[in-house]
Amino acid sequence: MFLVLLGAPGAGKGTQAAMISRKLGLAHIASGDLFRQAVEKGTKLGQSVKAYMDKGALVPDEVTIQLISERLNEPDCKTGCVFDGFPRTIEQAKALDKMLTSRKEAIDKAVYIEVPEEELLKRLSGRWICRQCQVPYHELTSPPKVPRKCDRCGGELYQRSDDAVETVKERLKVYFAQTAPVLDYYKTMDKLIAVNGKLGIEDVAEAIIDVLKPKSVRAG
């Protein structure tokens, strides 16, 4: 199964992708995480994307598509994966379709995690991320058991520099201008499903798992 998680910055893509991929035994491909790791390691890729990320702008399509194409060729993605933060432009969505078509696969569903804008700002201002496994926490809604320490791997938690208020505002602008059209792309293909992202973390995960079931066995 190949899934795309869509939603604004702070909607819960990373949180849900980590849960869903674990529950369904799929790989988790997060473009933002891959870029941040490259920046942290100071690789050539990291040096070339840092300025875009600091501004809250998108990394050019060419660079992003190349990164995802390489990641998708790794063995853990053979039977499927959850895309988190990619595709973010129509160009990227088309490139992803091409990559999958060439291996006789296709995106099964694009899940849109819908969250109102004022809630997004609250979520991003309280977010802490694990430096090792990238799992997000929130100081109010999902705090770690031990302060600044990841429950899952013991890694150190930090706050993303692009979660500063001004950069968040820019990321939201970029989202509405460049990424929101991707929703229509999947809608036209009849693959888009919206879930209420305002619910608690577990409830959103359950809603996603539920919409992935064939219609005949869905709850409600």
Q: Would you name the residues annotated as active-site residues?
A: 13, 88, 127, 160, 171
Based on the shown chain and the rule CB under 6 A, indicate whether residue 14 belongs to the binding site for ligand AP5. Answer: yes
- Cα dihedral across residues 192, 195, 198, 201: positive or negative: negative
Note whether 135 and 150 are within 8 A (CB).
Answer: yes
Is the Cβ of residue 178 or residue 216 nearer to ligand AP5 in the bound state? 178
As measured in angstroms, the least distance from the Cβ of 121 to ligand AP5 is 11
Per DSSP bridges, beta strands 157-158 and 136-138 are unpaired
Q: Which residues bind Mg ion (CB under 5 A)?
A: 14
Query: Could you tell me the smallest distance in angstroms from the CB atom of residue 101 to ligand AP5?
Result: 19
Give the tokens for residue 199: 């619910």
Quick one: which of 3, 4, 11, 192 contacts ligand AP5 (CB under 6 A)?
A: 11
E strand map for the chain: 2-6, 27-30, 81-84, 109-114, 127-130, 136-138, 157-158, 192-196
The residue range among 49-57, 102-110, 187-195, 211-219 that interacts with ligand AP5, by the rule CB under 6 A, is 49-57
Among Mg ion, ligand AP5, Zn ion, none, residue 157 binds (CB under 5-8 Å by kind): none
Strand order through the sheet with 157-158: 136-138, 127-130, 157-158
Rule CB under 6 A: is residue 136 a binding residue for ligand AP5? yes
Site residues (vs Zn ion, CB under 5 A)? 130, 132-133, 150, 152-153, 155
Asked if 3 interacts with ligand AP5 (CB under 6 A), we say no
In angstroms, give the least distance from the CB of 124 to ligand AP5.
6
Q: Which is nearer to ligand AP5, 32 or 186 (CB)?
A: 32
End-to-end CA distance of the chain: 24
Altogether, the residues listed in the chain come to a count of: 220
By beta-carbon proximity to Mg ion, the closer residue of 36 and 109 is 36
Who's near 38: CB < 8 A, 6+ residues apart? 45, 46, 49
The answer to whether 128 and 159 have CB atoms below 8 angstroms apart is yes
Q: Which residues bind ligand AP5 (CB under 6 A)?
A: 7, 9-15, 31-32, 35, 52-53, 56-59, 64, 85-86, 88, 92, 123-124, 126-127, 136-138, 141-142, 162, 171, 199-201, 204
